[in-house]
Chains A and B, each alone.
Chain A
Amino acid sequence: MSVLDVLDRPDVISPGISACVGCSVELTLRTVMKVLGRNSVLAIPPGCMGGVGVVGWDKKSGAEIPVFFPLLTNTASMLSGLRLAYKRQGRDGIHVVAFAGDGASVDAGFQALSGAAERNDRIIYICYDNEGYMNTGYQRSGATPKGAWTSTTPYGKLQIKKDMPRIMADHRIPYVSTCSPAYMKDLVEKVEKAKRNKAGFSYLHVLNPCVGGWGFPPEESIEIARLSVKTRYFPLYEVVNGEYHITVDIPNPLPVSDYVSRLKKFSRTSEVALTEMQELIDQQWQELKALEQVGVNGA
């Protein structure tokens, strides 16, 4: 089945949600749920997708499938409980899915997420990373990169971005991957792998450019996502049972300045900071290449 056939499946999310114009998270959510289908339960913690109406309003739902608001802090553990209830009923075919922002995943929700991963509970956890608390007005998160403007780092964040996919891979769960809405075939295949993973926890980390928070024209959403990959700022890889594999190789990367220069959030970034960012990207790519050789298990 071609990726276009998959994308032609019914969209179970409300056709009218108030995500910003050009929002790549809305695209990612619709796509992910087309792959996972109706036999799913969807957790949307507070964040952009919760705020735009995916869980509904008053007595109406924002989706045709069961959908709920966990707390910002307990998405993974609520899903752990749901999975146990279904296990008790022998309903192992149901997909238990989180679609959570970086704040709910790398910061406040991290403990619950790490706990569920350590228990290897069978959850499909998708983190849409727009590098900050975008729904509450563009504040800094642990996923905000160094140098980036946010409303709480007006002169640029001082610390580097938390490398969440690598942290999750070190839980040695069966499936981890990084995804981009610009690489749709790769994204769809990775969600399908998570869907097939009956062995335990799946963690997918999607880098989602944010029109308002990052500062670029709405029509460039996908292009910016593509540039993040082509500069190796956000490498696309997966970790299957500890085996690292770069799924979209970038043999001739563009300089990170090609990416940074497109985003207002980096407008105060100095030449020195840019050099540092390039060095970090190069180092992380080398690490990834090395991990591809040895795997998380060091085999």
Chain B
Amino acid sequence: MSHVEVMTGNQAASTAACLARPDVIAAYPITPQSSVVEDISKAIAEGKLDALISEVESEHSAMSVLEGAALGEARTFSATSSQGLAFMYEPYFRASTLRLPIVMAIANREMISPQTLWASAQDSLSVRDAGWIQYYVENNQEILDTILQAFCVAEDKRVLLPINICYDGFYLSHMSERVDVPDQAQVDAFLPQCYKPDHIYLDPDRPMAVDPLTNGDLLMEYRQKHLEAQQRALTVIEEASEVFFNLFGRHWDGCVEAYKIDHNTKGAIITLGSMTGAAREAIDRLQSEGLPIGLIKIRVVRPFPKTELRELLSGIKAVGVVDRNVCFGWNTGIIYQEVLAAISGSPSIVHQPFIAGLGGEDITIEMFETAARQVVTLAQKKNGSRDQETIWLRSVSEEVHK
């Protein structure tokens, strides 16, 4: 039977990781992730988790240890943040191109400079094209549930890719919430108990070369298969979400969640991660005023759920994307660009980029109200420009800066 605990996001992550029966864990401390590795170390030291941990000297080695372990047919888990993720980029990219189903939590933290510790998805979104699957989750329950789903998806023979579960540093990593914790038997019924690869491994009884020098044409074949696996993952993610719902009664809507969107909705706000909670409040308020605005939470950024998003936006006139990150060179956020690519074939939709909450700044309900009203205005405007300048939502002056 499951039980309810009050726990931080980091505790939810370490609890899920332990329930997933990992063989090998390696992680290096970094704020705001550190307590994930502390809690797992403690669980192993106290005999509560039967697994091996490598007390590595860096994030670079954390990912490298897991790659070696996964080649040795171990189920693996890690966690990191910002500069740690940047430091592990070299082996990080390779985990996906070697098709190793490593699962890693990322407590999202802004990239320096300026020196900072606080939330932003700049870290993980900056590596969105490194071939991993990336989930972005909203609350601590979703952290726990998604990590369990991630192991299932990562090791699925149709996928065989590493997965990040990204959650906002401090907002979730350090905030306590009520979390329903399943027991081991429930998890075992959901997740196969061990990882048994037949595509890549190192075993003296079955000799194989891992990663020989490869000609460009064969490399293209591997890349094609990798991209195809990313596309298949869209289905596998939805399936895992459904199976999870049937077993645990909690539904996280696969890749995209629509909130209060129906055939009357004219405008939509798009969010990622923990900001979605405040956005829901704002939408509730504005809908009670009768404004035709709804909310879309993108849960999976890689692979990008373009088809599902297009369907959700099919009757929408204007969309606003609130990004807690920036896309250098485009003067917008990153998710805005992703959404733009997805709806490029829908010329009737006006789109508005917003940037908010960098470096852990609060994205308030009021900011979402401001953003949502702007989107409704755009939706009601006739013959308006499709391209809108980014609106920066900043708290200091409590007003909208252009």
Assess A/B contact in the complex (Cβ within 8 A): yes
- Residues on A lying within 8 angstroms of B by beta carbon are 38-41, 50, 53, 55-71, 73-74, 77-89, 94, 111-112, 114-116, 118-119, 121
Is B397 in the interface zone, CB < 8 Å from A? Answer: no
A sample of 10 more A-B contacts (CB under 8 A), given A39-B204, A66-B206, is A63-B207, A66-B203, A71-B94, A74-B60, A81-B70, A82-B68, A114-B57, A116-B61, A119-B55, A119-B56
Q: A37 → chain B, closest Cβ, in Å? A: 9
Minimal Cβ-Cβ distance residue in B for A38:
B204
Q: Which residues of B contact A61 (CB under 8 A)?
A: 207-209, 212
B64 close to A112 (CB less than 8 A): yes
B204 close to A71 (CB less than 8 A): no
SS of A interface (majority): mixed
A81 close to B213 (CB less than 8 A): no
With A38-B204, A66-B204, A88-B74 as known contacts, state yes or no: A81 contacts B64, CB within 8 Å: yes
With A41-B202, A88-B74, A111-B58 as known contacts, state yes or no: A81 contacts B209, CB within 8 Å: no
A62 close to B209 (CB less than 8 A): yes
With A73-B60, A77-B64, A81-B68 as known contacts, state yes or no: A88 contacts B209, CB within 8 Å: no
Q: Which residues of A contact B76 (CB under 8 A)?
A: 81
Q: A48 → chain B, closest Cβ, in Å? A: 13
Q: Which residues of A contact B70 (CB under 8 A)?
A: 81, 85
Is B210 in the interface zone, CB < 8 Å from A? Answer: yes
With A85-B74, A111-B60 as known contacts, state yes or no: A41 contacts B204, CB within 8 Å: yes
A-B contact pairs, 22 of them (CB 8 A): A38-B204, A40-B204, A41-B204, A55-B210, A66-B202, A68-B209, A71-B94, A74-B67, A74-B91, A77-B60, A78-B67, A78-B68, A80-B65, A81-B24, A81-B66, A84-B24, A85-B24, A85-B73, A89-B73, A111-B61, A115-B56, A119-B55
Closest 4 CB pairs of A and B: A85-B72, A81-B68, A115-B57, A61-B209
Q: Which residues of A contact B57 (CB under 8 A)?
A: 111-112, 114-115, 118
Complex-state Cα separation, A111 to B28, whole angstroms: 14
B54 close to A60 (CB less than 8 A): no
Is B218 in the interface zone, CB < 8 Å from A? Answer: yes
Complex-state Cα separation, A218 to B56, whole angstroms: 42
B67 close to A57 (CB less than 8 A): no
